[in-house]
Structure 1
Amino acid sequence: MSHRLATMIGLCAILLWASIVGLLRQVTEGFGPILGVCLIYSLSSIVLLILFKPPKLHLFHKTYLIWGSILFVSYELCLSLSLAFAQNSQQAVEVSILNYLWPSLTVLLLILTKEQKFHPWVIVGVLLTLLGIIQVQVGNGEFSIRQLTRNFATNPISYVLAFLGAFIWAAYCTVTKKIGNGQNAIALFFCLTAVALWLKYLWIGDFVIPEVEWHSYLYLVFSAAAFGLGYAAWNIGILHGNIQLLTAASYFTPIISSLIAMQLLSIELTWSFWQGAALVTGGSFLCWWSTRVRA
C-alpha cells in the first residue's frame, strides 16, 4: 500500500469518528438511551472482532489488560451515556465538546509521569481549552459563575459524565503509552463495554421495546460501522501513512464532529459555539505541538 493512500485512509478514520456524536444521538432517540447504546456497542463489537479477530490474551501484559479494560469501559460508558441522556440534540453537541478536554489532560499526565518534557506552551494550551469549553457552555450570554451553574443544573448527569470521561480517557492514553507495548486490544475492550451496558440494562429492568422507525436501524448500522471501520482505517494510517499529519488532523475532530452533527441532527449552532470549539481545538493542538517541538 502506498504512503499517500494509507494517509488518506487514516484521514477517513477521523471523519468516521467525528460522525459518532450525531449517529449515536440519532440511535438513542429511536431506541432509547440505554437500549440504543447497548445495541451500538454490541454491533460494533461484532464488527471489530471480524476486522481484528479475537485477541490472544496471553500475549498482553496482565496489568495493561486489567487497567486498560477498566479505563476503556469506564470511558465509553461515560461518553455514550452523557450523549444519550442529553435533553436534546443541541445539548448533546455541547456536552460532546467537554470530551475534547482529554488531549490537553493527556499531555499533562504524560508530563507528570515523565513520558513528556514540560513546555510553558502546554499551560497556554490547557487554558485555551478550558476557555473554549466555558465559551460553549455560556453561549451568547455574558460569562458568570451563575450562568455556568445554571447551564450545568439543566442536566448535571450528562455534564458530569462527559467531564469525568475526559479524565478517564487521558488516564487510558497514559497507561497505554506506558505499558501497552503497542498491542491492540480494542476488540476485547469493546466486548467488555457491551457486556457492562447489557448488565446495566438488565439491572434497570426496563424491557419495553419501543416502536422504532426504519431509519433508526440504518443509523444503528452506520454507528457500528463508524466505530469498527474507524479503528481499522486508523490502524492502516498510523502503520503505513504520515503519522505526524494524521495526529495533527485528529486534533480538529471537535470542529469536524460538530459540523457533521449539525447536519445529521438538523440543528443550528451559534457563532459563540464555534468560537468555543475553535478554542478547544487550538488549545489541544498547541499542547501537542509544544511537546513535539521540545522532543
Structure 2
Amino acid sequence: MTKGQATITGFIAVLLWALLAALTVGTAPMPPLLLTAVTFAIGGAIGLAWIAWTGGWRDLLHVSPKVYLFGTAGLFGYHFLYFSALRLAPPAEASLIAYLWPLFIVLLSGLLPGERLNAGHVAGALLAFAGAALILSGGAGGDLTGGAIAGLGLAFLCALTWAGYSVGSRLLGQAPTASVAIFCVMTAVLSALAHQLTEVTAWPASGWGWASCIALGVGPVGLAFYVWDIGVKRGNIQLLGVTSYAAPLLSTIVLILAGQAEASPRIAISAALITSGAVMAARAGARKRPLQA
C-alpha cells in the first residue's frame, strides 16, 4: 500500500465519524454503557474476523499489556462520555464541542519532546473556544437546562480524552493495527460489566434504532478505528490531521439533514469558528516542520 492509498484509507474514518452523532441519537433510549458495549462488540468482532482471515494472531503476542490497557481506556472513556453527552445535551451543540479534539491534539502535541506551541496555535485555540462559547451562550433555543449543561461538559471532557489518547499513543510506540480489535473487545466487556452495575437496560425503540446501533458498530465504532490506524501509521499524518477538522461541519450537516438538529446562524457560525481555529492551529504546526509520513 502506497502512502497516498494509506492516506485515503485513513480519511474514510473521518467520513464515518461524521455519522457518529446522528446514529447515536437514533439508538435512543439505550443507556450509554449498554450502547458502548454493543457497538464495540460488533466492532471487535469485525477485527477478530479480519485477524483470523489474515493470520495476524502472532503479532498480538508482541504488544505490551500497557498498550492494551491504554487503548482500552481511551476508547472506553471517549465513547462513554460522547454517548452520555448526546443523551443529555442538544446533539448538534454536543457534537461540535466533542469535535474540539483535533484542536486539542495540536495543542497537547506541543508538550511532546521536540515540539512547541507558537502564536498560530494560540490564535487557533481562541477561535475554536469562541465557537464553543457561542454554543454555551446560545443553547437549545437560548435556554440551557442543567442536564444540557452537564452534557456539554461531558462533550468537552470527551474531546480532551480522545486528544490525550491520540497524543499519548505516540509515546507508547507502534502497535499492529490488529491490536485495535483487542481494544474494542476489552472495551465491550468493561462496558457490559459497568452497565450491569449502574444502568437500567433499555433497547432501541424501533427498527431504525436497531439499524442505527448496528451501523454504529460496523462503521464509526468499528471500521473507522482500523482504517484510521492504517492511515496514521502508513499515510501522510499531517494531511490526515487537517482533514479531520472537516468532521465537525460534516457531523452537523448530517444531523440537520436527518432532522435531528435545526439549521441556524448560531450553529453555522460555531461550526465555522471551531473548524477554522483547528485548521489555523494545524497550519501553524505544519509550517514549522516538513510534512511527515
**TM-score normalised by L of structure 2:** 0.83
Letter in 2 for 1:69: T
Q: Contact 2:82–2:154 at 8 Å: present in 1 too?
A: yes
Aligned counterparts of 1:58 and 1:4: Cα–Cα separation in 2: 30
The residue aligned with 2:77 is 74
CA deviations over 1:47-98 (Å, ceiling 9, x no partner): 2322355765431234333333333322222122222x225xxx02211111
Residues 102-139 of structure 1: CA deviation (Å, up to 9, x unaligned): 22222222222334232211110111110011112223
Distance of aligned partners of 1:68 and 1:266 in 2 relative to their CA distance in 1, 3 Å threshold? closer
Identity of aligned residues (%): 24
Q: Runs of 4 or more off by more than 6 Å in structure 1?
A: none
Taking the TM superposition and a 5 Å limit, the aligned residue runs for 1:272-291 are: 272-291=266-285
Residue number among 198, 206, 223 corresponding to 1:213 in the alignment:
206
Q: Is 1:139–1:273's contact at 8 Å kept on the other side of the alignment?
A: no
**1:219 corresponds to which letter in structure 2?**
S
Could you tell me which amino acid in structure 1 is paired with residue 88 of structure 2?
A: A
In structure 1, C-alpha distance between the alignment counterparts of 2:196 and 2:280, rounded to whole Å: 44
Partner of 1:144: none
Which of 67, 88, 94 aligns to 1:86? It is: 88
> After superposition, what is the alpha-carbon deviation per residue over 1:267-288, rounded to whole angstroms, capped at 9, x for unaligned?
3121111111111111111112
Which stretch of structure 1 is more off in the superposition, 160-169 or 124-133? 160-169
The one-letter amino acid paired with 1:169 is: W
The 5 Å alignment of 1:84-233 reads 85-86=87-88, 91-139=90-138, 151=144, 153-184=146-177, 185-204=179-198, 206-207=200-201, 210=203, 212-226=205-219, 227-233=221-227
Q: Secondary structure at the match of 2:110?
A: helix
Structure-2 change in CA distance of 1:242 and 1:272 (3 Å): same
Maintained 8 Å contact 1:122/1:286 = yes
RMSD over aligned Cα, in angstroms?
2.8
1:248 is aligned to 242
2:103 counterpart letter in structure 1 = S
Residue 174 of structure 1 deviates from its aligned partner by 1.8
Work out the CA distance in 1 between the residues paired with 2:243 and 2:183. Answer: 25
1:150-188 per-position Cα deviation (integer Å, ceiling 9, x unaligned): 636343432232111222222211210112325433222
Residue in structure 1 matched with residue 37 of structure 2 by the alignment: 38
In the aligned structure 2, how far is the partner of 1:4 from the partner of 1:278?
28
Contact 2:28–2:204 (Cα < 8 Å) also in 1: no
Structure 2 residue ranges without an equivalent (≥5)? none
Tell me how far 1:197 sits from its aligned partner: 1.7
Matched residue pairs, number? Answer: 282
Q: Which amino acid aligns with 2:254?
A: I
- Distance in 1, matches of 2:197 and 2:85, equals 19
Of residues 124-133 and 211-220 in structure 1, the stretch that sits farther from structure 2 once superposed is 211-220
Going from structure 1 to structure 2, the CA distance change for 1:254 and 1:239 (only over 3 Å counts) comes to same
Gaps of at least 5 residues in structure 1 are 142-146
Change (3 A) 1:2 1:294: closer
Q: Decide which moves more: 248-257 or 92-101.
A: 92-101
